[in-house]
Structure 1
Amino acid sequence: MNLGNFYSGREFEAYEYLGAHTVAVGTVFRTYAPAAKAVSVIGEFNGWTDTPMHRTEDGKFWEVWIDSARDGMMYKFRIYRQDGSFMDHADPYAFFSEKRPGTASVIYDRERYRFEDADWMWNRRDRRNEAMNIYEMHLSSWRRKDNPEELDRRINHAKETGECIDVSDGWYTYEEIADRIIPYLTEHGYNYLELMPLNEYPADESWGYQALGFFSATSRYGNPDGLKRLIDRCHAKGIGVILDVVTVHFAVNDYGLYRYDGTPIYENPNFSVGRSEWGSCNFDHSRGEVRSFLNSASEFWLHDYHFDGLRFDAVGNLIYWQGDERRGVNTNATEFLRRMNAGLKERDGNVILIAEDSSAFSGVTKPVREGGLGFDYKWDMGWMNDTLDFFRTEKDYRSANYHKLTFSMQYFYNEKYLLPLSHDEVVHGKATILQKMAGGYDDKFPQMRALFLYMYAHPGKILNFMGNEFGQFREWDEKKQQDWFMTRYPIHDSLQRFVDDLNRLYLAHSAFWERDYDRNGFEWMEADDTLQCVYIFRRISSAEKLIFFFNLSGWDQCYRLYPKAATRLELLIDSDEDVYSGGTHDPLRKIEVSTKGYDMYLKAFSGRCYRLI
């Protein structure tokens, strides 16, 4: 490892030097603890007694070779502080960890697993002009092994008694998840899987966003080989895999990064900005060692695990101090983002870098060479908020909110946006996406179908959280699986059928995605019919033109269409068709529209997609 790069924040492969590395005989351990008085390794191989490490390099690193330390054995670093006290820490660069509530690191041979996805990796290319339909998933709550009713009983009993409950006995392993999720994705028309954080973390309730093992695949679902095999198998079926990562903050647990050598190495020492709104420790991005740590963690997941992309959480909390624009820009953090993204792209220009950012900071997806932060995509939180606000508005008041659905196109081309209906929108009392729809039970489903069609028709890549596709009613709970029994109800089953058909339509027709970020790929035809709540627009690719009609009022409408030239339209999908539990039976599949006009009858809360032929 180049020490100059490490200290200047330009190192991307610190994991090749630091951590526990198996060799022909035994294991070499290294850690960075500049303020430590002494450091030892304790573990299964020495009866958890001290094996002293010696200073190396410039005296700030510690190293020891232990011939009896083997793959799969647990260990910790015992850090002696200047006052003579000590704390046993997990290895910041550990490649595997003991299953919680255990806190030890585990020696792992990184070279053991052999990927079989060479063709996929070789053929990866820029996706901006391609379809990207992302299924966001939390591994332990998509499906579980145990009986849902029995789990509910256990959880309710724990609430009544105040006891802690361990639900890990119902988790599938990485391999078992692969057996189930890959057929599901291929059957239902998703070409990307986004996994919520899998770096090791102490608390299930944090969903992985308060991590400690930034190089360690969580042991909740098995070992690193299992995760690699899951990704390998996804690639074999043409499915890309994206991982959620966190570069803003880390869990405060004292066995982790917190005051690792008795001083604040990783965390910001300034009290006013040292703790995040979640109570975790904010990284100190002014330190080169911290930037190199985070650079290397990002590169590690892309290189060692063959993830196709990373979604960076809470980027707004990096851009602005504590995520507050009034505090000003954190220039240390923005410079870190620029250098990290540029470095990752230098190593592989085809990896996908996504920012979850709700701020108005400009240039998030602009290339670094042009002064931007260098992300490929940014979540369009404005689109998400405006869209859900519109659909939760009662039908009698929608005219006043009409332009909430047109506003996004006024700023859309300022960044490269991705449209998310994510996990954040279905927790903490916000209600699920289906519940957000205005009106009674019967009104929610046609609006949900219209929402999906509007989302897919709108420029931008697509992300949906698990459960959206069949109309999950209960808010997401990380302890429970999704309510799959709901698909036995015809109206939920038909909603999923609609989403399936829409997914396949999206993947098959280039007008949905080829010119997402080209102004010539989108054209409004009606964006001011506030009285009828009718919207019409065109999506255009090099191969075809699609026209979308929406009536988002609560009443059937007749819209008089006057094309500039005689036009023939072929219906591709109608959200009100009876196969989707709508009221339209056997709609006209082809219509001819003359310049004299055509009366388009649009059912309440519905949308249609036509192809020009």
Structure 2
Amino acid sequence: MKQPLFSEYELYLFNEGRNFASYQTLGAHLVEYDGVWGVRFAVWAPHATAVKVVGEFNDWQGDNSPMSRQGESGVWALFIPGLIVGEIYKYAIDTAQGCLLKADPFAFFAEQRPKSASVVAELGSYCWQDADWRSQKRGQLLDKPVNIYEVHLGSWRLGPDGGMLSYRELARILPAYAADMGYTHLELMPLAEHPFDGSWGYQATGYYAVTSRYGSPQEFMEFVDACHARGLGVILDWVPGHFCNDGHGLKAFDGTPLFESDRPLRAENRQWGTTNFDFSRSEVWSFLISNALFWLDVYHIDGLRVDAVANLLYLDYAREPGDWEPNRYGGRENIEAIDFLRKLHEAVFARFPNALMIAEESTSWPLVTAPTFTGGLGFNYKWNMGWMNDMLLYMETDPLQRRWRHDKLTFSLMYAFSENFVLPLSHDEVVHGKKSLLDKMPGDYWQKFANLRAFYAYMIGHPGKKLLFMGGEFGQFIEWNEAQSLDWHLLSYDMHQKLHNYVSALNHYYLQQPCFWEKDAGWEGFEWINCEDSLHSIVSLLRRDSHNNVRLMIVNFTPVERLAYRIGVPLRGKYCEEFNSDSQEYGGSGLNNTGIIRSEPVPWDNWEQSVVITVPPLAAVVLAPMG
């Protein structure tokens, strides 16, 4: 007697928005059915009049491959015996408007662009080597160093033939490079299948299909495994807010609005030329929450950076008055999307308590990183876009004029502990005419590098986890272009190589010094020494670890050295210079504080003791107590 293709309970949970392993039910799966091996297909298309599986195996004619409706679930299913991994297929969906050819929303793999068919894939055959990594009790990393290297795999480095490197080729070089540079995590720009390279992956058609641009699912597993072997966590950019409009994708999937709202003002996303998900639909919850868990489960991803959260939270995001519909209470908040985010995090942390869930959220929405049971959204980190915008505006200002914008340097401490923050210098800041980080810096050639070194040091001293986009570590001079490699040849130039050495040294110093991360989430780990010296554009701060050890950082944002600069110190005794961004080995002028620096009983900066030091031009100095 034939067994049903699914349990009714699986489909019931999917319709209820509570099947968070729906990728095990829907899609194309190699299975044994009534003693015969083949592929079981399943797709959600509730408004279709008929659905067929078409592919090379039936000459793209589906008359012999009709799917059957599974009760009232809206799911159609078919088992085709004899099919194997690698078969290419689509769904032919009959609608009132005609037949649509659609890729499988749950496909695990797809053809390379510009082709768009789905590919039968089997994901359980890879032999993972990261059991030790997965078993570590890493917690939420609030009291650990987090230093993220953001990467676009297609343009980090190209092969000798000018083509993109594969996951396997990248696995041999990128994890080792990032670990040697002192990074703790790689953040990968989206790898869900997408048709257009220029979208950078943020407009997807295949949410469960790792892009075929760089190789197979198993090769991507090798890449993640290689990262874990080098002690690197892997964070993946994830886009649950909107999807690509291409015809083979999710839009009007069964001839009607299905994954999107049937209300055009809710569905249409004019800002990006995409379509928003409908979070009032329970099946969309099953689809997206399952997808988040899929990346964490199947590919051993360590966390997700959720893109464009403001687009989920606000119905009027990037819209003009009259171009949006209020919620049922007359407000601008997307109530259903807020509920979705909370359920997402409850589901993720129930299964993966050590996962990183990072919000790219650009507004002042409260409690983004607070637990859901306290009314928060449930993320454990949020990008600090305010710090990024203020700091870039400050750093782009002529140093002689910075005194008038001193508040841009210090204002972030007014809210630094309101959320668990990541300080991002991301890809968005080095494209579309914004210039590269190095080219944003004012001054002559030497001053550009000095400014950038001081900026990076201040970033390390400021509370919050750290993120830098690729190329920033060696001073990419031109804007990032996804169609070409980073300019690695710049490392043959002295100042670029010295900047590269500096970033590596600064990163490793950060990793080795608990004062800069052990108490990163509150005032007990940070204290201003002097944040009011706008005349000299100098700030001095103190960082403290859990054993009450301290480090003092002084940053001079002008090209004028201060040869007898006094700062208050918390302890009487001896100090030494532990780090100096102006060292000649980093391309600086070599103005150092050598030998022992003794405190004096001269009250300064609200402390009874103080020291007199040399503060180099456009540079950061770190002092450490001795004994």
Q: What TM bracket, shorter-length normalisation?
A: over 0.9
Q: Establish whether residue 61 from structure 1 lines up as the match of residue 75 from structure 2.
A: yes
Q: For residue 468 of structure 1, give the secondary structure of its aligned residue in structure 2.
A: coil
CA contact (8 A) 2:190 2:200 kept: yes
Are the structure 2 counterparts of residues 59 and 591 from structure 1 closer, same or farther at C-alpha, using a change threshold of 3 Å? closer
Q: State the AA in 2 paired with 1:464.
A: L
Distance 1:491 1:144, change over 3 A: same
Rounded to whole Å, the distance in 2 between the matches of 1:57 and 1:433 is 57
Secondary structure at the aligned position of 1:599 is classed as strand
Q: Tell me which residue corresponds to 1:556.
A: 561
Deviations 1:118-175 (A, max 9, x none): 111111421111111100000010000146xxxxxxxxxxxxxxxxxxxxx6011100
> What residue is the counterpart of 1:576 in the other structure?
582
Residues 29 and 474 from structure 1, CA distance in 2 versus in 1: closer, same or farther, beyond 3 angstroms?
same
Q: Which residue of 2 aligns with 1:160?
A: none
Q: Structure 1 residue aligned with 2:84, among 70, 79, 85?
A: 70
2:20 aligned residue = 12
Q: Could you tell me how far 1:324 is from its partner in structure 2? A: 4.7
Q: Which residue pairs with 2:616 in the alignment?
A: 603
Matched, 1:235 2:228: yes
Partners in 2 of 1:12 and 1:589 — Cα distance?
61
- Tell me what 1:89 maps to: 102
* CA deviation string 1:233-257 (max 9, x = no partner): 1111111000001001000011111
Aligned pairs, how many? 591
Q: Which amino acid is the alignment partner of residue 93 of structure 1?
A: F
Listed as ranges, the gaps of 5+ residues in structure 2 are: 1-8, 325-331, 603-609
* Alignment partners' CA distance in 1, 2:516 and 2:121: 44
Equivalent of 1:535, from 539, 543, 554? 539
How do 1:162-181 and structure 2 match up within 5 A? 170-181=163-174
| Match among 506, 523, 528 for residue 502 of structure 1 | 506
Shift, 1:295, TM fit: 0.5
Q: 1:474-512, CA deviations, whole angstroms, 9 ceiling, x for partnerless residues?
A: 100000000001111111111111101001101111111
Q: Give, in angstroms, the shift of residue 31 of structure 1.
A: 0.5
Offset of residue 4 of structure 1: 4.0
- Does 2:217 align with 1:224? yes
In structure 2, relative to structure 1, the CA distance for the partners of 1:59 and 1:523 (3 Å cut) is: closer
CA distance in 2, matches of 1:564, 1:591: 14
Instruction: Return closer, same or farther for 1:292/1:589 CA change in 2, 3 Å cut-off.
Output: farther
What secondary structure, in the 3-state scheme, does the structure 2 residue paired with 1:71 have?
coil
| Residue 598 of structure 1: how far off its partner (Å) | 2.9
Query: Deviation per CA, 1:510-552, whole angstroms, max 9, x where unpaired?
Result: 1111111022000000010111111111010024211101111
Map of 1:355 onto structure 2? 359
Separation (CA, whole Å) in 1 of partners of 2:568 and 2:147: 34
Residue of 436, 452, 467 corresponding to 2:456:
452
Q: Distance in 2 between matches of 1:400 and 1:113?
A: 58
The structural deviation recorded for 1:404 is 1.0
The answer to whether the aligner puts 1:411 opposite 2:415 as a matched pair is yes
State the Cα distance separating 1:59 from its structure 2 match: 5.0
Q: Output the TM-score relative to the length of structure 1.
A: 0.94
Percent identical? 41
1:332-411 map, 5 Å: 332-411=336-415
Alignment of 1:136-151 (within 5 A): 136-146=150-160
Preserved CA contact (<8 Å) 2:11 2:73? no
Distance of 2:92 and 2:362 partners within structure 1: 41
Q: Partner residue of 2:525? A: 521
What secondary structure is seen at the aligned counterpart in 1 of 2:417?
helix
Partners of 2:372 and 2:528 in 1: CA distance: 32
2:275 aligned partner = 281
Deviation at 1:47, TM superposition (A): 2.2
Aligned-partner residue type, residue 415 of structure 1: E
Match of 2:49 among 37, 44, 51: 37
Q: Which range moved further: 591-600 or 58-67?
A: 591-600
**Could you say if the C-alpha distance between residues 66 and 576 of structure 1 is closer, same or farther in structure 2, counting changes exceeding 3 Å?**
same
Residue 217 to residue 564, structure 1, CA distance change in 2 (3 Å) = closer
- Deviation (angstroms), 1:291: 1.4
Superposition map of 1:104-123 within 5 A: 104-123=117-136
Q: Who is 1:154 aligned against?
A: none
Specify whether residues 61 and 563 from structure 1 end up closer, same or farther in structure 2 by C-alpha distance, changes over 3 A only: closer
Q: Is the 8 A contact 2:583 2:591 kept in 1?
A: yes
Gaps of 5+ in 1: 148-168
Q: Amino acid of the residue matched to residue 41 of structure 2?
A: F
Which letter maps to 2:68?
Answer: H
Q: Distance in 2 between matches of 1:307 and 1:322?
A: 32
Partner of 1:591: 597
Instruction: Point out the more displaced range, 197-206 or 68-77.
Output: 68-77
Partner AA of 2:616 in structure 1: K
State how far apart, in whole Å, the 1-side matches of 2:168 and 2:415 are: 43
Superposed CA RMSD: 1.4
Which sits farther off after the overlay, 514-523 or 3-12? 3-12
Cα shift readout 1:278-313 (whole Å, capped 9, x = no counterpart): 110111111111111110111100000000000000
User: C-alpha distance in 2, partners of 1:205/1:415?
Assistant: 33
1:145 maps to a residue whose letter is G
AA in 1 matched with 2:30: T
- The answer (yes or no) to whether the contact 1:563–1:595 under 8 Å persists in 2 is no
Provide the residue aligned with 2:480 in structure 1.
476
Match of 2:573 among 567, 571, 586: 567
> Whole-Å Cα distance in 2 between the matches of residues 193 and 563 of structure 1?
37
- For residues 104 and 267 of structure 1, the distance between their equivalents in structure 2, rounded to whole angstroms, comes to 22
The Cα shift of 1:399 comes to 0.6
1:352–1:376 contact (8 Å) kept in structure 2: yes
SS of structure 1 residue aligned to 2:251: coil
State the AA in 2 paired with 1:285. F
Q: CA offset at residue 397 of structure 1? A: 1.0
Distance 2:536 2:285 in 1: 53
2:471 pairs with 1:467: yes
Q: Deviations over 1:354-392 (max 9, x none)?
A: 000111110110100100000010000000000111111
Q: Which residue of 2 aligns with 1:250?
A: 243
What is residue 291 of structure 1 aligned with on the other side? 285
Q: Secondary structure at the match of 1:136?
A: strand
The letter of the residue matching 2:184 is N
* Conservation of the 8 A alpha-carbon contact between 1:268 and 1:281: no
Q: 2:31 aligns with which of 9, 20, 23?
A: 23
Residue equivalent to 1:182:
175
Correspondence 1:197 to 2:190: yes
Whether contact under 8 Å (1:308, 1:351) holds in the other structure is yes
**In structure 2, distance between residues paired with 1:238 and 1:124:** 14
Q: Is the contact between residue 28 and residue 63 of structure 1 (CA under 8 Å) also seen in structure 2?
A: yes
The answer to whether the 8 Å contact 1:299/1:344 transfers is: yes
For 1:76 and 1:229, the matched residues in 2 are separated by: 28
- Letter of the 2:457 partner, please give it: L
Distance apart, 1:586 and its partner CA: 5.8
> Partner residue of 1:207?
200
Q: Is the 8 A contact 1:202 1:211 kept in 2?
A: yes
CA distance in 2 between counterparts of 1:338 and 1:312 reads 13
The answer to whether the 8 A contact 2:192-2:207 is kept is yes
Cα contact 1:563–1:594 (8 A) shared by 2: no
Structure 2 CA distance for aligned equivalents of residues 530 and 402 of structure 1: 6
Counterpart in 2 of 1:304? 298
Note the C-alpha offset of 1:561.
2.4
After superposing on structure 2, the runs of 4+ consecutive aligned residues of structure 1 that deviate more than 4 Å are 324-327
Paired residue for 1:317? 311
Task: For residue 569 of structure 2, give the secondary structure of its aligned residue in structure 1.
Answer: coil
